[in-house]
Amino acid sequence: MKYRKLGSTGLDISSLILGCMTYGVPERGNHPWTLSEEKSRPLIRQALDLGINTFDTANSYSDGTSEEIVGRALTEFARRDQIVIATKVYFPMSKGPNAMGLSRKNILQSVDDSLRRLGTDYVDLYQVHRWDYRTPIEETLEALHDVVKAGKARYIGASSMFAWQFAQALYTSRLHGWTEFVSMQNHLNLLYREEQREMLPLCESEGIAVIPWSPLARGRLTRDWNAVTERQQSDAYGKGLYAHTEDADRKVVDAVAAVAKARGLPRAQIALAWVLQQSAVTSPIVGASKPEQLEDAVAALDVKLSAEEISQLESPYVPHAIAGFE
């Protein structure tokens, strides 16, 4: 495993981050395809054995049970000072009027709840899951600054939003001397490259770590276009991410298959290698429900695509509508 700095910070993270949305009680929340604790633990252990030291979850994943499962496994399998835990806040955790968003009230309540579920005194990276249009950005950023100063988070990061919003947040933090976002967790893969227009250049210019989610497009880049999985059939959110450019997307999937066949490699390695070779990308977030998925992800670190292969993969792409945030 190779390690990289989290943007301009001194924190070392693995070149792959294990995304933990896959782990949670299936009956809780809106992810019926998640793995139970019994099935999740061997994969978390495998990730550690492969050198992955960074784990990303969120309070909303499977109604908090993802944090609980991940927290218990990491407590048992690893030393706290040797791992990096990231979680998020924004989506509702109950039906109360103040139970979602990025108000000071919800942030301070949610970080304590996440720490309890994870079984730790602090998280390494506390991220806003989305932009909150109902709360002044000053209120959000000051609350996050206080979370860091209280020792409950080491760094703060953001997830999918418009580049102008992220720029506004960075400017506001600097204006007030508050803790700044050090990372951007955004939607990026061969089927969705809109982040290349504004967000990636902004992050590269500002020294912000880019840790993309869904680098394999919910697995669509790893199989034939007409092949479906149990998760794909029940993943309502995922269906909305890739529903409007079917003909062009099919050509991209076919291009991945062609390059993979020519290389004699699994498609997942080719698709992930493309993400890893984007200059702005620090570490993509990979999910795994099977051991071979983790093995493919680690193997992709050594795959170097040629300029011709990159052109072959990219040329079928057409502009997409914004997907993954509003």
C-alpha distance across the termini of the chain, in Å: 35
Q: Tell me, what's the pLDDT at 70? A: 98
Between CA 144 and CA 21 the distance in angstroms is 23
Between CA 139 and CA 291 the distance in angstroms is 43
Between CA 94 and CA 216 the distance in angstroms is 31
* pTM of this prediction exceeds 0.85: yes
Q: Tell me, what's the pLDDT at 231? A: 61
Question: Can 61 be counted among the known catalytic residues?
Answer: yes
Render pLDDT for 24-37 as a digit per residue (tens, 0 to 9). 999 898 788 899 99
Residue 94 makes CB contacts below 8 A (sequence gap 6+) with: none
Q: Tell me, what's the pLDDT at 236? A: 63
Strands 17-19, 12-14: pairing is unpaired
Q: Tell me, what's the pLDDT at 77? A: 98
Segments in the chain below pLDDT 50: none
- Domains parsed from the chain with CATH numbers: 3-314 (3.20.20.100)
Q: Which of 61, 126, 155, 192 is catalytic?
A: 61
